Amino acid sequence: ETGGAGVHDLPNLIVVEGGGAGLTADEMQGLSIFSDVAELGGYLGGTGRAKLVWKSIMEAKNPFEDEAIHPNTRMQLLNRFEPLPQVVEKVTAGDLTTKMLVRMRDGMEIETVIIPHDSRPTAQKSLTGETAARSTLCVSSQVGCNRACVFCATGKMGFVRQLSAHEILAQVYLARQIIAQDGLPPLHNVVFMGMGEPLNNLKHVTKAAEVMADHQCFSVGSSRVTISSVGPSPAIIRASAQLPALLAWSVHAADEETRKKLVPTTAHTMVQLRDAYLEALESRSKGRSTFMVAVTLIEGVNDSQQHALDLIQLLLPFQESSKCKGVMVDLIPYNDIGFGFEGGPNFGRTEHDKIREFQIAIRKAGFPCFVRVTRGDDSSAACGQLATSSIKSKTK
């Protein structure tokens, strides 16, 4: 959905032959070491064994090899459980943003990005003004994406397959290993803003988010997991209300014509999608009714004052709802992927002063509005730049 970086150039996509390519996420999902303690304990013959596996995971060790785990349990893991995906390439940008190329057992590849922050206020320290270094992890939910956003490298890949919950959670595990090895700030929050449209993989994304938030597992906390979507349909949006995470909507343009150009798969009006999100938020607890709206600003496409006014009009019902805790607008300066509208010039990034004018208009309407600091663009790890060489197998 919000895509990212290309370790491989898109024009040189390769075909992954055989090796399980084309399997569904359910078919790819064997027993997972990332199951919650109760489920894992059922597989291993006791929650005590499951807790030891999770202790190994949280210490950034390999449970399949960790000698602190009983040999019989390790043998079960080796014989019955899904193997761990592997980091086959790691690229670190000048700002220490770290992009991992992760290969699954069928040879398919995804990208995951660790974004370290030197100084950010934590929820506990926001009142005192104290800050703490921490890292954000941007995870992928699919290999490729079928939403076809024209400004996103993942959208240019097309859809290949869903990721299983195991493969999504493995990204957290692998990132925690790299954070420990490279001395990066500790993992604080997870965003589903990598490759893929999370709401088109709702079953596995839900399971993964539950395990991320579980205090006996990764213990990230549901308020520190954000699931971002373009909003494929009102029905899927309403179904997302049950997700144990905060919700974010990648709007990109509020008027129908521009939105359809940027997200060609848009099949519903923006009002229909907006009303579905409003309904979803009003059914959630107060703690999960905070909502983020993202707009990638592209020079001359969706960055005018009229576009800002259209966005304000679209969002006013959230402001008027007594059950919606608040809406924050996130402005994302476009990151170059070497594409534009068909037959036209490549897209360009909106100038800083124009972004600032857009931000002021949104803030004057009463919406908190922030401009995202571009991170990792020198290593193609920034928002909108993620893509890999994986593509559907043509093996018959």
Q: Are the beta carbons of 357 and 305 closer than 8 angstroms?
A: yes
Q: Give yes or no for a contact between 228 and 197, defined as CB atoms under 8 angstroms apart.
A: no
187: nearest Cα among 58, 99, 63, 83: 58
Strands (E), 152-252: 159-162, 187-192, 225-229, 246-250
d(CA 103, CA 373): 29
Q: Rounded CA gap, 213 and 210, in Å?
A: 5
**DSSP designation for 260:** H
Q: What is the number of helices (H) and of strands (E) in the chain?
A: 12, 14
Q: Which two tokens stand for residue 43?
A: 């597989």
Catalytic residue among 82, 109, 111, 197: 111
17 has catalytic annotation: no
Catalytic residue among 149, 152, 217, 383: 383
| Cβ neighbours for 249, distance < 8 A, ≥ 6 positions apart | 228, 229, 230, 231, 273, 277, 291, 292, 293, 294
End-to-end CA distance of the chain: 28
DSSP letter at 282 equals H
Given a contact cutoff of 8 angstroms between Cβ atoms, the answer to whether 150 and 139 are in contact is no
Asked if 204 contacts 244 with a C-beta cutoff of 8 angstroms, the reply is no
Phi, psi of 94 (to 5 degrees): -60, -30
Q: Which two tokens stand for residue 32?
A: 């997972």
152 is an active site residue: no
- Looking only at the bridges linking them, the beta strands covering 326-333 and 369-371 are parallel
Residues annotated as part of the active site: 111, 383
